[in-house]
Structure 1
Amino acid sequence: MNAYLRNFYILILISLSYSCTEDKAQENQKLRDEVIQIHDEVMPYMGELKSLRKDVIAKSHEIERNQGEEGAKEVESLKLLAKQLDDAFDGMFVWMRQFNQKEDEMSDEELESYLLNQKEMVKVVNEDIKTAIADAKAVLKD
């Protein structure tokens, strides 16, 4: 009877272990989906970043032509805004290039840590894009 109980407990432990592994895999998939969702939210705005940059540069050239030295401060501000738009654009592609799709080479714990880090990184990219677009629209609205 002891052998029967021992085998029963071993079977339960194996079942629980498998269940925990499956739960962790599901949690990691959910986390991965969140990372991709944050990326997908702003990826459609990449063309808008470039378009706004073009408009910002055109406005800076117009001010240079019409105001000369008097508009130098505003021109410098517009050039910084154009750089902000470029940096936001580049930030997306830098993040995408480093994002590791080889998740099967990681343990569940390594994968969770990696995805949490990626989530924070892509949040910064997301916010940079939204901020750059809002800043450009506010300046161009004037």
Structure 2
Amino acid sequence: MKKYIYTLLLALSILAACQQKSHEKDHGHDAHAEDGIQETENQALYNEVMKIHDEVMPKMEDIHRKKEALKNRIAENASMPEDQKQKIEATIAKLDSAGEGMMVWMRQFNPIPDSAGEEKAREYLETEMEKVKKVREDILQALKQAEN
């Protein structure tokens, strides 16, 4: 999926660059410096979103391992007090939710190319930045809870 996103982004960047060159030739002037800055800002924002994703994606394996360990703990301790069992089950549910949050975010993440409107693309990436930060927070909190 990540390779697809990078390939798509590269293709869109090339397309946008070609359109910009065509625009410059048609009107006989250079592109505004501001246009290059905006494109760079969107690319930097995209890179930051992906950096957060890449930071927490490997933790999906940790979520799976912790979940299995907690399930085994319940299965191996038939005489476990009910309140302790409920706490472990709540932790498992939190791990499930955090993992599902990442999967949902990845399925829904579909960056808008700058060619569709740089401002619109920036707004989308800013929204996605908040979402991926929430995913990171949920994953880290669920793993911390599972450690306890």
Same fold judged by TM-score > 0.5? yes
Query: Identity of paired residues, percent?
Result: 33
Contact 1:60 1:74 in 2 (8 A): no
Contact 2:112 2:120 in 1 (8 A): no
1:18 is matched with 32
List aligned pairs for 1:83-94, cutoff 5 A.
83-94=93-104
Deviation at 1:102, TM superposition (A): 4.5
Among 58, 63, 76, the alignment partner of 1:49 is 63
Cα distance, 1:81–1:129 mapped onto 2, change above 3 Å: same
Unaligned runs of 5+ in 2: 1-26
2:145 is matched with 135
Among 98, 113, 121, the alignment partner of 2:131 is 121
The letter of the residue matching 1:126 is R
Unaligned runs of 5+ in 1: 1-9
Deviations 1:107-128 (A, max 9, x none): 0100110000000000000111
Q: SS of 2:110's equivalent?
A: coil
Q: Which of the pair is proportionally richer in helix?
A: 1
| Aligned residues: CA RMSD | 1.9
The letter of the residue matching 1:121 is K
Bigger CA radius of gyration: 1
The letter of the residue matching 1:23 is I
Deviation at 1:77, TM superposition (A): 1.1
1:98 is matched with 108
The letter of the residue matching 1:132 is A
Cα distance, 1:78–1:88 mapped onto 2, change above 3 Å: same
Contact 1:42 1:126 in 2 (8 A): yes
TM-score (norm 2): 0.76
The letter of the residue matching 2:88 is L
2:13 is matched with none
The letter of the residue matching 2:43 is Q
1:3 is matched with none
Task: Tell me, yes or no, if structure 1 residue 112 matches structure 2 residue 122.
Answer: yes
- Paired with 1:21 and 1:102, the residues of 2 have a C-alpha distance of 17
- Paired with 1:106 and 1:126, the residues of 2 have a C-alpha distance of 29
- Paired with 2:103 and 2:32, the residues of 1 have a C-alpha distance of 37
